[in-house]
């Protein structure tokens, strides 16, 4: 019979700088671009596939501002191979974030065809969306944050990555990731983005930064010529606000849900401390012996990239996986390990028993952390063995006394007594 240490809910004090009115902030930031020639111009507004806080609000505000300037805006998916790389799949992803033709008041042009624009100095073929190339101007909208596939002091996810990979659709994304296996991601993104920016019509961007509680906290409107100089500032801010696990070294991490709307790798490798090749990240914030992942978010639309980063997964997560969508993304990114199906069992009890075996620790004294996902780290369930290490931490507060893990008769977490379910439902 499985014996688990008692658990307690803890709250972390994370960087909290949420914007009170994101739409107003976007409009005010865009004012610096009001002198640009917008009237009568067809403007492609690029939106991606990440679960960015208030993304529909931001895209809607950009569309409305452009229309107020006399422009003719339309939305394009700028998400590389995501959504299975098909127009229908990419339109469906946008809709899941509230971005539709009716909510935006603008057409969505989901054509996935590309044109080759030439080569970079390293000989990398550059591809970009024909729809974006044929527009009069392009406004890209993306979150700036540390990337999950590589470490850099100044560059991660953001506007330049969306230029080089997001606008490249399946062909461009695949070409970039293939080149990254030779030259590294940072060099490829810099070179490809520079070519795309030089070939696009007038280029602009709305760069977003979230705080430690996954709330939109900073917005900047940039000209394409400013991407290279301004994005590093926002990258530094994003890194400073980025949350972490309350303990840097634990035996087991239980992740309730993974998904592409959480992270490009399903769960943020900067948080869990292991990269797409399952090796420790250079900038890791944690060292975890073993990981158990329980389910896939509905917003991931079957894309289970990241399932291979866990040592043990639930059979439910395996059943939620759309292999076609997942494999398309993993092959494009050249990260087959992220979609390998890990050891799996039908119940939480069996999975916990297995992951504790993988960690090589006695269950009753194991240090265990459980999180909803890698974007939701304000509330974390910790095993009793973690409490001594947290006792002197001013930024971590236990909420209540230790209790038994809420396993029902079938061996699964009992939602009615589940500490995490309670805080996220409230």
Spans of all domains in the chain:
22-241, 244-425
Rounded to two decimals, the pTM is 0.83
| Residue 220 parent element (H or E) | strand 216-223
The pLDDT tens digits of the residues spanning 292-344 come to 999 999 989 899 999 999 999 999 999 999 999 999 888 888 888 999 999 99
Start-to-end C-alpha separation, the chain: 33
| Alpha-carbon distance values, 145 to 12, 166, 210, 232, 305 (Å) | 21, 15, 8, 10, 19
Asked whether 222 and 33 are in contact (CB, 8 A), the reply is: no
Residues 6+ apart with CB under 8 A from 407: 2, 348, 349, 413, 414
What is the chain's alpha carbon radius of gyration, rounded to the nearest angstrom? 22
Place of tokens 């403007």: 43
Looking at the domain that runs over 22-241, which CATH code has it been given?
A: 3.40.50.11440
pLDDT at 353: 95
Residues 6+ apart with CB under 8 A from 357: none
Residue 273: pLDDT band with limits 50, 70, 90: confident
pLDDT of 14 higher than 50: yes
Rounded to whole angstroms, how far apart are CA atoms 207 and 158? 7
Three-class SS state of 112: coil
Cα-to-chain-centroid distance, residue 9: 25
The pLDDT tens digits of the residues spanning 162-213 come to 998 999 999 999 999 999 989 998 999 999 999 999 999 999 999 999 999 9
Please state, rounded to an integer, the average pLDDT across all residues of the chain. Answer: 91
Rounded to whole angstroms, how far apart are CA atoms 300 and 285? 25
């Amino acid at each position: 019979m499985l014996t688990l240490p008692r658990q307690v809910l803890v709250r972390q004090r994370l960087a909290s700088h949420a914007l009170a009115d994101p739409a107003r902030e976007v409009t005010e930031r865009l004012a610096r671009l009001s002198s640009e020639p917008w009237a009568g111009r067809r403007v492609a507004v690029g939106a991606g596939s990440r679960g960015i806080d208030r993304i529909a609000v931001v895209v809607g505000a950009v569309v409305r501002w452009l229309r107020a300037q006399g422009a003719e805006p339309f939305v394009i998916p700028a998400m590389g191979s995501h959504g299975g790389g098909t127009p229908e799949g990419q339109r469906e992803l946008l809709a899941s974030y509230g971005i539709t033709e009716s909510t935006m008041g603008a057409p969505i042009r989901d054509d996935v065809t590309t044109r080759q624009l030439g080569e970079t100095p390293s000989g990398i073929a550059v591809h970009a969306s024909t729809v974006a190339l044929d527009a009069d101007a392009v406004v890209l909208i993306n979150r700036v944050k540390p990337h999950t596939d590589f470490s850099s002091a100044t560059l991660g996810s953001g506007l330049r990555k969306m230029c080089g990979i997001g606008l490249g659709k399946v062909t461009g994304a695949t070409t970039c990731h293939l080149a990254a296996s030779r030259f590294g991601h940072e060099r490829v993104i810099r070179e490809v983005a520079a070519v795309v920016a030089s070939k696009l019509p007038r280029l602009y961007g709305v760069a977003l930064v979230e705080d430690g509680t996954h709330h939109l906290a900073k917005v900047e409107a940039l000209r394409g010529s400013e991407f290279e100089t301004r994005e590093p500032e926002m990258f530094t801010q994003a890194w400073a606000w980025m949350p972490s696990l309350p303990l840097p070294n634990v035996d087991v991490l239980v992740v309730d849900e993974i998904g592409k709307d959480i992270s490009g790798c399903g769960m943020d490798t900067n948080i869990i401390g292991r990269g797409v090749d399952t090796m420790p990240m250079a900038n890791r914030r944690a060292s975890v012996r073993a990981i158990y992942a329980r389910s896939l978010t509905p917003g991931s639309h079957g894309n289970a990239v990241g399932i291979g980063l866990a040592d043990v997964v639930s059979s439910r997560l395996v059943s939620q996986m759309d292999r076609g969508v997942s494999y398309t993304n993993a092959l494009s990114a050249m990260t087959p390990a992220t979609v390998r199906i890990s050891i799996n069992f039908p119940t939480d009890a069996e999975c916990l028993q297995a992951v504790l075996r993988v960690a090589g620790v006695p269950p009753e004294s194991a240090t265990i952390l459980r999180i909803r996902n890698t974007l939701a780290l304000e509330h974390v369930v910790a095993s009793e063995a973690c409490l001594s290490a947290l006792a002197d931490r001013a930024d971590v507060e236990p909420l209540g006394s230790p209790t038994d893990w809420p396993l029902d008769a079938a061996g699964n977490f009992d939602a009615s007594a589940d500490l995490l379910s309670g805080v996220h439902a409230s």
